[in-house]
Structure formats: structure tokens, C-alpha cells
Amino acid sequence: MDVSVKPRRLESYLAGHWQRGAGDGTVLRDAATGAPVAVIDASGLDFAAALDWGRRVGGPALRAMTLHDRALMLKALGLRLMEMKELFYAESFATGATRADGWIDIEGGIGTLLSYASKARRELPNTRVLTEGAVEPLSKDQSFSAQHILAPRHGVAVHINAFNFPCWGMLEKLAPTLLAGMPALIKPASQTAYLTELMVRKIVETGMLPEGVLQLVSGAAGDLLDHVDGQDVVTFTGSAETGRRLRTHPAIVANSVPFTMEADSLNASVLGSDAAPGTPEFDLFVKEVAREMTVKAGQKCTAIRRAFVPRAHADAVIAALRGRLAKTPIGDPAAEATRMGPLASLAQREEVRARTRDLRAEAEVVSSDPDRVVLASGDAEAGAFLGPVLLYCDRPGAAEAVHDVEAFGPVATLMPYDELEEAVALTQRGKGSLVASLFTDDPGVAEEAVIGMAPFHGRILIGNRAAAKSSTGHGSPLPMLVHGGPGRAGGGEEMGGVRGIAHFMQRTAVQAPPRLLGAVTGRWSEGAATQAGTHPFRKSLADLKIGDQLVTGPREVTLADIEHFASFTGDTFYAHMDEASAKANPFFEGRVAHGYLVVSFAAGLFVDSAPGPVLANYGIDNLRFLTPVYPGDTLRVRLTAKEINPRANADYGEVRWDCRVTNQRDEAVAEYDVLTMVAKVWPPE
């Protein structure tokens, strides 16, 4: 970077305007060259007005949209950001990230946005609230029932993020927040805020988000948290010390503001007792530890800090890691040959060196000098470079610092164990972590280790030869899995698919007559009003209504039907074919019809065969067989439109039908949901 170029002044985007702080600001420097990149300051800005703006303007705009509308908005935004990714990569080099590191942050973040958009359209209804669980009947006559719903909170989600992932850290929180219908205010860590500010600026320029939905603070948070209330949410990623201080902020405590924290994490990796040198698992373990030490220069909340190996293999692991780490070119992150760039700042390098000195009180350095670095390119003094430091602690059971001190950089401590039980206990000494990994091909080792480690970890990865090519690796949080951990890791959860969306919604138990309950949830339930008339399969989404119902005529089940079905399908289970054996079964009085024969006959009763708006059947949910069907029994079907979800930007939608099959005594023999694709208009225009 040309040091003669004046660094740009970062701005905050609050209350619909780009604004500058009132002070001189702090200079942010290129992690590799030390050249000025930007000046950051947020002093004097009105954070109370910003939160009010989000609540009054952004919240109503989002809540007016359905979940599918919000998902399509995220998809369009993600695709636009992907088109601009080279702008972000160019800026990312200043943070110390190589191109590969930047891919995790930039394309990984945008991919998370797109993944959430896709999951929402596939898995969630096109409604403004979500239902959770089944309807709970509260009366015998079905006149009173209850349903848990999730509704968007009427506040702002304040996201206070860490410096190591300025894009992904924002987007992985933003995706579930906006899907839930809640506006967000982003407060990135200052060290790398210039990259976050660039991305937010480009998002605002697209005009794809309603006003008030996204705000940004570039600089210190000042009195921001003084103004949060009970409808807001605060999330924090960073040090446990800072997190504890924020969690006990008077406004957060007084208003019971939900607070999610992801903090320090002494993540562990265990080499199984079966994984001797020469096995694929041994090689995978060495590769993964080295990768977690060097990717993002070890500045990942999920990086491996403690590695536990069978004592007999300790020397072999040290030799293998030393050789692999020595082949990692360190230097200018923009250089193509570089595999590990600098830390985020000189101050961060000194912090890591200080924490490494703490660790050296109990462990010896076996690879790389923390006070001297050999570079393939770049300036060792001007840039925040540090070689990957591997330490060895021979008596981990008697040690303290190795289980308590996190050097947030390319530093890991190798420790031996004698029995697997000891290794599991040592992982627990981290007092709660985001992730652990285990490398084994032994099912017994996997069972014992995972059950022992699970209460102390948010995620556990098992690596072995079978998953070597497909595994996402120890340090990769995924949008469909929870990201968080107990204890010192913060006790929070992020992402996790639909679970992540629920963090920004209020769970409420609604008790009501079924008709009014359905008006709230958009879903028919037993006891609600129904209407007969035209066969519901003849109705397009334009005409179909919740509660539209068909009650069919009877269909007798004969012994010949059962025997034909058995012969035709090959299902000759004894209960269908052998009278004596069937009677000996405590559940049956004699030969019974196949459950799937009942389902097939039911379809024959309710299907309208002519071409029409029902385009396809794509599944059955919650199928239960409740009463045996015997030869001579007569079946009827009651089919009710239960839920209608028009698909946005498509000429069809999904309809969920409640199907209840009864016998001649009006006993339910089968209950399930039929899922169909139905045209919005029929005939097609």
C-alpha cells in the first residue's frame, strides 16, 4: 500500500445516514506493512436515536414481510455481494488474511447468507409467525386448544463482533436476524472494521434492504447499551472478560435483554488410541492440527489450542507437525505463495507473545521461536508476523496454564495421555469450548470419547479415513449446525438453521378456540371450522381456503385385497398372511391389512383423477397407524386443507392436508399429513 495515500475516514450508518464521529479518531494499519488504512471514530453519535430508528422504521418493514419474502431478499442480496467479492478480497489483505483466509470470511459469510435463504424457503412456511410443536388439545370436546408460536421481537439486534472475521462474523448473525423479522445494528471490532464498513456500504448501495433494517457503528460503542430495552437482543463475540462486563451491563440486567456470547475457547483435538503412526487417522490429525494453527494465523475462535495424543506416539506427532509447519510459507498475504499471513495488528502479536510466555511456564517450545520469524516475503518488523508455535507439556494433569490461557494466534500445546479416560478428562479442563475433534476409526473409542466430551463442547467432529474427503474439518462452523459452547465459551448458540432464527423471536403459548387459533397461525387444527363443496383438489391456491374439506365414501377391505397387495409388493409379513401367527401376536386378532395398503386405498378415495391445480404429491409427514384393519372393515377418509404456503416468485405453492382414515366404527386407523404442490391459478394463464 502507498503510504502517501491518506487513509479513508470510516463512517457509521445510523438512522438512515452515513455519519462521522466528532473526534480525531484512531488510525488503523495494514497488518502486513504497517501502512495506514483507515481512521475510525464514533464519538458523539446518537445511539439512542439509532435504536429508536431501527425499532420504528426497520422493524415494521420487516414484520410486514413473510418469511419467504425475507428469504428471497437475503438470496438476492447474497448473489449481489458475491458479484462484488473481489472488492472485499482486495480490502481483506490489509487484515492479514491470505486469499484462502479471505475465502472463509468473504465467500463463507455470503454463503451462510445464501444457505439461510435456501433453508427458510425449504423448511419454513410463508407466514409472518412460526408455529412450534403440535397443537395441544385442552378440552375433550375440542373447543379449546393451544399452540406455541414464535413472533419477531419488536426491538433491534445489537451485534458486537470480533476482529478476526469482519465479513462472516457480521453475515452469520445478520442472516437469522433478518429472517426472524428483526432489524440489526452491527458493531465490528475496530482493528478490521474497514472491511465491514466497505461491505455494509455496498449493501446499502444495493437498496435491497428496507430502511432501518441494517445499521453500523464504526468505532467505540459509547453509551449504546445504555439504551437497550426488553425487546432488543445483544450478541457478543470476543474475550470472556469483555463479555462478562457487557452481560452485567445495568440496562441488560434491568431489562432482561437476551444476551448471547461467544468467548474464549481452548478447543481440543484428540488422537485416538487406535490411531498409530502410519494410519490414515494419524495423518489426518497432524494435517488438521497444522491447518488450525496456520489458517487465519490461528486467529479463529474454533482453532485447536490443545492437542492430546497417546504418550507412545508423542514423539512421532511432534516430528510430523514440526516437518509440516516448517513447510508453511509465511509472508505478505497478497503474495500467491504465502500460506500464512500476519496477525491482525502489532498489538495482537505482542498479546500472543505474552500469552505464549505464560504457557512456557508449563510447556517447552518444540517448533518455531515465538520471538523470531522467518519470512518468505514481507517485513518482519513492520508487519505483525509470528511463526506457528508448537509447545509440549509432558504432565498435563498437573498443569494449569495450558488449560486456562488462550494465545489467540498460531499457538498450540501438545500433551500426552495414557488412557482414553484421561484424555476425555483433560478436554474437560478447558471449562467449556466451542468445538473438539477426535481422530479414530474405533467405534468404542468414538462412543466413550464423545459421550464424555459432549457436555463440555458445542460441537464435536470425528475424523477418520471414511470421511477424509468430505469432512468440513475441525474449525468450520456451518449454518445448519449450532455454533457456540458452554462455560468459558460463553454459553450461547448461533446459527443452527431454524434454531438460529428462533433466538430473535419471542416464544408465546396461545390458548384459544381452534378457529381463532388458526386465524393466528394460518394452520387448521381439530375442532376448527370446515367447509365442504367443490372437491378441494379442483381448487387453485386462489380459491382454496384453510378448512376446505372432503369426506369420502366407504371402501371395504377384503382378504383378496390383502393377498393381492402382498403378492404385488412382496410384503408377505406373517401378520398379513398367516391367521394363526397373526392371532398369536398380542396386537392383532387375526390377519390384518398392510398399513401401506390402507394409505393406498385412502389415496384412491380422496384423489381427483382429472388434470387440475394439484401438480404433484411430494411426501407424507407424521404417518401413524392407530387401529388394525381387518378383512371386512370399511374405510373412509376425511381430507382437510391444513396449511397453505404460496411460494414467492413462483406459480405454485405447497399445501399441507390433514388426512384421517377411519373404519366403520369411526375409529381412526391412520392419521398423517399429505403434502402437495398446487398451482396458484388454474387453468394456467
> What residues act catalytically?
262, 301
As a whole number of angstroms, the distance between CA 313 and CA 675 comes to 55
Of the candidates 218, 265, 158, the residue with the CA atom closest to the CA atom of residue 25: 218
As a whole number of angstroms, the distance between CA 286 and CA 685 comes to 61
As a whole number of angstroms, the distance between CA 441 and CA 423 comes to 17
Kind plus residue range of the DSSP H or E element containing 604: helix 595-606
Whether residue 456 contacts residue 430, with contact meaning beta carbons closer than 8 Å, is answered with yes
Q: In this structure, which amino acid lies at residue 84?
A: M
Angle between helix 85-92 and 99-123 (nearest 10): 140
What phi and psi values does residue 335 have, to the nearest 5 degrees? -75, 135
C-alpha distance across the termini of the chain, in Å:
59
Beta-carbon neighbour count of residue 306 at 10 Å? 25
CA distances from 508 to 37, 149, 295 (A): 48, 5, 43
CA distances from 588 to 183, 421, 503, 576, 579 (A): 57, 48, 47, 10, 10
What burial class does residue 360 get, using C-beta atoms within 10 Å of its C-beta: 0-12 exposed, 13-18 middle, 19+ buried?
middle
Whether residue 264 contacts residue 239, with contact meaning beta carbons closer than 8 Å, is answered with yes
Q: Give the three-state DSSP class for 268.
A: strand
As a whole number of angstroms, the distance between CA 511 and CA 523 comes to 14
Of the candidates 311, 318, 317, the residue with the CA atom closest to the CA atom of residue 422: 311
As a whole number of angstroms, the distance between CA 406 and CA 306 comes to 10
- Grid cell 500426552 is found at 416
Of the candidates 333, 439, 412, the residue with the CA atom closest to the CA atom of residue 377: 333
As a whole number of angstroms, the distance between CA 590 and CA 581 comes to 8
Beta-carbon neighbour count of residue 326 at 10 Å? 12
**DSSP secondary-structure letter at 35?**
-
Whether residue 290 contacts residue 307, with contact meaning beta carbons closer than 8 Å, is answered with no
Give the number of C-alpha atoms closer than 13 A to the C-alpha of residue 551, restricted to the C-beta side. Answer: 7
As a whole number of angstroms, the distance between CA 128 and CA 70 comes to 10
Of the candidates 673, 643, 669, 670, the residue with the CA atom closest to the CA atom of residue 655: 643
As a whole number of angstroms, the distance between CA 517 and CA 146 comes to 7
Q: In this structure, which amino acid lies at residue 646?
A: P
As a whole number of angstroms, the distance between CA 20 and CA 14 comes to 10
- Per the DSSP assignment, residues forming a β-bridge with 270 are 308, 438
